[in-house]
Amino acid sequence: MAAPRDRRERRERPQTVLEVIERIQLTPHLVRIVAGGPGIDKIENNGLTDAYAKMIFADRTLGLTPPYDMAALRETLPVEQLPSVRTYSIRKFNLDQGQIWVDFVVHGDKGVAGPWALTAEPGDPLVLLGIGGGYAPDPDVDWHVLAGDESAFPAIASALEQMPSDAIGTCFLETYGEEDHIEISAPAGVEIIWLHRGSAAPGTTDLLIDAVRAMPWRDGTVQVFAHGERGAMKQLRPYLTDERGVDRSRLSLSAYWAYGRREDAFQAEKREPIGKI
């Protein structure tokens, strides 16, 4: 009788291996990776504007070739050298041209995925573990609210592009300053409001919270998409659900990251009280 496999091994999902086609520096803190290659045939557009994928990033100096045998690597590499898993939004499915776009927030050499994106070159592998998501703009609501920091820019930009031309609403985008503005294609009835935190670090201001709370509230049914730093999302949820009575079925609110936490710790804390939104 064969020995049972390790639970982690059983849970591991198939890896889709793409390759970098182009790296584009959109702003000082945002890099777009255009990826494609033979593996693109395994990618499906799920129709959701907050589509995301868990991605595996390996230390280039180790010379590992994807797909990675994670079970074997756990047996042979120290923990600090194991490939890291990070979650990123798919900015655009451009499958007719054999591409997807992924936008990375970068802060110098901090983190794992950001530094990788800064130095990525054509031919470098981009390894995905399936596509998820849960939100798309509802064309039948009366108005929309969208709010987020740089981590939510890809999903928000995708949502605005998918809205009907007569959609109305308000969109708040928080970043350092004008140099970090991105091009936004939005319906004429959706107001784009940029929030500048200047030299303050992401996750250390109440700009997004204050802006949403101060916004004039329209009549009718509203759909809300608010994603970003965990502390800000924790403060926005009771305002939106309790004070404004936003129907939970029309509220997409979640943390993409947490100030002062590495990705692994942030993901682990989602199962603990501190990580509940």
What is the rounded average pLDDT of the residues 110-118?
Answer: 91
Cα gap 45→49, rounded to integer Å: 10
Cα gap 118→31, rounded to integer Å: 7
Evaluate the omega torsion of the peptide bond into residue 164 and state whether it is cis, within 30 degrees of 0: no
Structure tokens at 231: 């502390």
% residues pLDDT > 70 (the chain): 96
% residues pLDDT > 90 (the chain): 86
User: Which of 205, 215, 98, 202 minimizes the C-alpha distance to 152?
Assistant: 202
Q: What is the pLDDT of residues 19-57, one digit of tens each?
A: 999 999 999 999 999 999 999 999 999 999 999 999 999
The answer to whether the beta carbons of residues 209 and 229 sit under 8 Å apart is no
CA 75 and chain centroid, separation? 31
DSSP character string of 10-71: HHPPPPEEEEEEEEEEEETTEEEEEEESGGGGG----S-TT-EEEEEE--GGGT--SSP-HH
What is the predicted pLDDT for the residue at 188?
98
CA 249 and chain centroid, separation? 21
What is the predicted pLDDT for the residue at 4?
43
Distance, first Cα to last Cα, the chain: 45
Question: Which fold does the domain 143-275 belong to in CATH?
Answer: Rossmann fold (3.40.50)
What are the residues whose beta carbons fall under 8 Å from the beta carbon of 277, sequence distance 6 or more? Answer: 230, 233, 234, 237, 253, 254, 255
Domain spans of the chain, in order of start = 13-132, 143-275
pLDDT band at 111 (very low <50, low <70, confident <90, very high): confident
Tell me how far apart the 2 most distant CA atoms of the chain are, in Å: 67
Q: What is the pLDDT of residues 120-151, one digit of tens each?
A: 999 999 999 999 999 999 999 999 999 999 99
pLDDT beyond 80 at 216? yes
Gyration radius from the chain CA atoms: 19
Cα gap 160→14, rounded to integer Å: 31
Cross-strand bridge partners of residue 99: 94
Look up the CATH number of domain 13-132. 2.40.30.10
Q: What is the pLDDT of residues 153-201, one digit of tens each?
A: 999 999 999 999 999 999 999 999 999 999 999 999 999 999 999 999 9
DSSP character string of 150-212: GGGHHHHHHHHHHS-TT-EEEEEEEESSGGG-------TEEEEEEEE-TTSPTTS--HHHHHH
